[in-house]
Amino acid sequence: MPIFNWKQVVLLVIFASLLILTACGGSSNSTPPPAGVSLSIAAAPSTIGAGANYQYSATVSGTTDQGVAWKASAGTIDSNSGVFIAPSTAPATVTITATAAADASKFATATVSVQATDPLGTVNSYTQLQSCSGSVPNGTCFSMAISCPGVADLSAYLKVNNPQGAPVGTVLLNTGTGGNGLYDDPTAGGYDFGQNVVQSLILAGYNTVQISFGAPFNDNQKSGWLQGPGGPRRLACRYATVADWVYNNPKVVNPGVSVANSKPMCATGNSGGSAAIAYAAFEYGLDSELAMIEPTSGPVMSRIDQGCSPCSASVVGNVCANSSNVPNMCYLDADAKIIDEAYRPAGATTPTLCSDGLNNHANASLTAQFLSDSILYGGSTQNLNMPNTILKQLLADEDTSNAVPQATTWEGQVTPSSSSPSPRFACLANVDHDIPSFSAGATQIAADVIANCH
């Protein structure tokens, strides 16, 4: 009688085959990676500011599986989305690695240098326009083409007015939201009493330079400097680049001068315009060029992570006496939609990142990106040291947006020039969010700049 019957022999043969496959690294149900898989990382900026972020992307060839796993040698990167957040210390060189999901042996790398401040862009060209808009007469208007690392090119516009004699300085003025308007033109995104501010500064001997990223010159840039994708911090490069250009081109600003730069140069802007100034002064290193800044009703992007979160998540106390200010850091629905624009291409309706966060649909990775995009990107312990820049802020008693808590949170963590007035912020009674649209607001802005821009 045989020791094994034929069925047992067959089973033994199958078992032995499986052992041989396992020993050789095979698997009875494994699928070998497709032949010819390769991947490449899309072009990305070569430098990035400390704590800033960038959305990396890659293309996989030779397979329908476009999945990529991301790694970074320093800082953090979301392994699925490719959103990289640079380390908060600089200088540093970081290697970004993308590995194909279809074949783990196929990968690509890119390097990025982390520097103390975000890289400025360039003014590729500028042209004097044949006519000039706005309420204040005798202005000279310019169109300029702006390029910044990692974001779409954009057009910017200047309206320049000069004093009668030699200027005592130059003052930048910009409007709220994405700066789509002229400060002195209420019909084009400006303020009812903006012309009063401009005229007072001209009479005091200053060149005035109004910066617009749209109206009334261009109807195709509705979101102004905040048109994404890229996020507010990276997009603020557009304003900072224009401000730096004004500083370094004094003879264009005022042909009658023979100086090396537009010194002293100062700036004021309302709401979103105040955020652009704060980004420029600190994230883009322009505190060495800005002798004095006066953010009004802001900066409103001090902590975007708290702005794009449920209103119950972050609360600070009212700071304006007898005011209607709200204590919440969160954005209103309309404000969240403006931030949404900063993360998507022109004309797109998705993603709605800030609105999602406001409605409690965010995640840890997205919250980290919002913090990276904030002026206070280091969080509650960060100190913004700007020893060369005098600071004065104006807030409004009747402001019911999150501008006041966002503004005072920023003010509490910034160390400006010791020449700054004390207190560094003032609350205006019977004035609402658009401070330059009130006579009292316009008068105070002009007085503050004239007193401190030196």
Q: What is the pLDDT of residues 34-48, one digit of tens each?
A: 768 999 999 999 999
**CA dist 292 → 52, 288, 386 (Å):** 25, 10, 10
Nearest Cα to Cα of residue 327 among 400, 412, 411? 400
Helix spans in 266-417 (H): 272-278, 304-307, 333-341, 353-358, 364-372, 403-411
CA triplet 440, 262, 114: central angle to 5 degrees?
A: 100
Q: Residue 250 corresponds to which tokens in the numbers above?
A: 């004094």
**73 SS3 class:** coil
Q: Which amino acid is at 423?
A: P
Please count the other Cβ atoms lying within 10 Å of the Cβ belonging to residue 299: 32
Distance CA 163, CA 183 (A): 18
Burial class (CB in 10 A: 0-12, 13-18, 19+), 16: exposed
Contacts of 228 (CB under 8 A, 6+ apart): 151, 235, 341, 342, 343, 344, 345
Q: What is the pLDDT of residues 165-181, one digit of tens each?
A: 999 999 999 999 999 99
How many Å separate Cα 239 from the centre of its chain?
A: 10
How many Å separate Cα 122 from the centre of its chain?
A: 17
pLDDT reported for residue 335: 96
Domain boundaries, the chain: 38-115, 122-452
Pick the CATH number of 122-452 from 3.30.930.10, 3.40.309.10, 3.40.50.12160, 3.40.50.1820: 3.40.50.1820
CATH code at 38-115:
2.60.40.1080
Distance CA 120, CA 123 (A): 10
DSSP string, 281-307: IIIT-GGGTEEEEEEES--TTTTHHHH
Distance CA 214, CA 259 (A): 30
pLDDT reported for residue 11: 44
Nearest Cα to Cα of residue 129 among 218, 47, 16, 68? 218
- Kindly list the averaged pLDDT for each block of 10 residues, start to end, along the chain of length 454: 47 45 46 79 96 96 94 97 96 97 95 98 97 95 98 98 96 97 96 98 98 96 96 98 98 94 96 98 97 98 96 76 86 96 95 94 92 96 94 95 94 95 93 97 98 96
